[in-house]
Structure 1
Amino acid sequence: MVSVPSRPRRLPRLKLPSWSWRITWTYLGLILFLPLIGMFLKAGQVSPPEFWAAATSSEAVASYKVSFGVAFVASLINGFFGLVVAWALIRCRFPGQRLLDALIDLPFALPTAVAGLALSYVYSEEGWMGKPLYDLFGLKVSFTIYGVAVAMVFISLPFVVRTVEPVLRSLEKEQEEASACLGANQLQTFFLVILPQLFPAILAGIAQGFSRAVGEYGSVVMIASNVPFKDLITPTLIIQKLEEYDFNSATVIGSVMLLFSLVSLAVINFIQVWGQRYQGSESAN
């Protein structure tokens, strides 16, 4: 008598109660959506001419240039060095690797004011890094726009590293072996085989780091001189407007930053979806 193997019993899927979506909408509405709607409603009370005047004032435009321009440069720097760090953590073995891997996330856990205080001391004219830079090159970092760049690089580096790491870890070694068998050297294999697959993740990390750097306040305000038309960033300008009881201007500038955040979120999601489709088409081929 031949025994027929029984089919494995399918486990039932866990179903949450039907009211879970109500809790989801209520919680997100109170925590996330309600403050954003309040911001837009407050900005809507300002007349269009006043809104345009506040959003495009010379002081505001100068702060946009500092925030967006320096954040863009910082994100590009992290795009390169973040790839190098992720490559070292995944493909290399060296002493202190686990410790370094854990310290990558330090900007996430460290209070931004503490980070700014530490950076301002290290890069001051008498600091460990600031003194050699000032003595050798005459470059002053703390309380200048260069200090703003250092702070933005510091707080946005983990985004690129943590975005590239899982993609780099999932790459198949057979592709590199096939490239080597076809006569490609290591540089050709990296630029023609590996880098195209990492490029969507690098772009996503750069976009996330850029958005994070634009909205940074705590670390930048400690290392910058916060002088208008010099190194004043937009979040600091909003605080200054509130201290001057100019609530309309603060609300308008905050709305501009909020709109930028929404656009940045859409760009990041587009890059991630494009990266998934690109990797899917590559694996299918």
Structure 2
Amino acid sequence: MVVLIKKFFSVAGKIVLSGLIPIGIMIIVGIGYAIYAAATGADMDEITKVGEARWTQYLQTVLFIGSALAMYAWFERKRKWPLGLKQKHGIDRGLQGFFAGILLMTLSAILIWAAGGVSWEASKWNQTLILSLLEGIILYIVVALSEELFTRGYIQGLIKYHYGTPAAIIVSSIIFALMHSMNPNMYETPFPFINICLAGILFSIARELTGGLWWPIGLHMSWNFFQGYVYGFQVSGTEPVPAVLQVTDNGPIQLSGGEFGAEGSYMASLVLILGIIAIYFLYRRKNKTH
């Protein structure tokens, strides 16, 4: 019993520490920025909105990548369980995930539209839109790499090593959802939390069945990019951006997703469940034939 308790607190402590490292640094940077901005006479609105600034988003992703790599190097490398980045046919797996993400988000968007939850109007192609799309590609590549390496690479791998695959999938998916707790409108209805958990389960099962992180990284990137920069939804409650389609929310919020985006819709719940079933049977069958 003592051994089990010690193992639990060791694993839980590592997970907490891996999250506190980037959060702690972000808090220190935020305080430093606020002091500097106030001293130079910056507008208070700019100071309070620093958390929404692009540079803070990029810094956060870099810190979570660094935390995952550092925690693995410090505590886990000798145990030799795989972090998931070194993978045979990683490019192929990434592309498969990328196109799966397009399919799943497109299906979610069409179902929401067909049920009357949203309507669309095509945007005019101009320099602002093109630059927005380029920025979105870069942003969501970095976000996908960061979140997948941290949750599916380090946390899922750590829990799997000590407690097995089912526990790793469930716990890492809940942690993934909790990481979005500070996002605007996360708890306005139950569906944002449910759908982030379902997405986490989809990514986790894909990580197990494909043998690495590149499939979930590809899916994560295209899911977010097409949600925000093609179909015009807000992505996990973030601010809307110039997109290929301008979306109008017709409600109700449980259908349209409201200001959380398509991930706040029960239509996305249905699509994610179908995606979990499809990826499970597709890759399990492939693994059995090899």
Larger Cα-atom Rg: 1
Normalising by structure 2, report the TM-score. Answer: 0.26
Q: Under a length normalisation based on structure 1, what TM-score does the superposition of the two structures give?
A: 0.27
Where relative contact order (Cα < 8 A, 6+ residues apart) is larger, the structure is 1
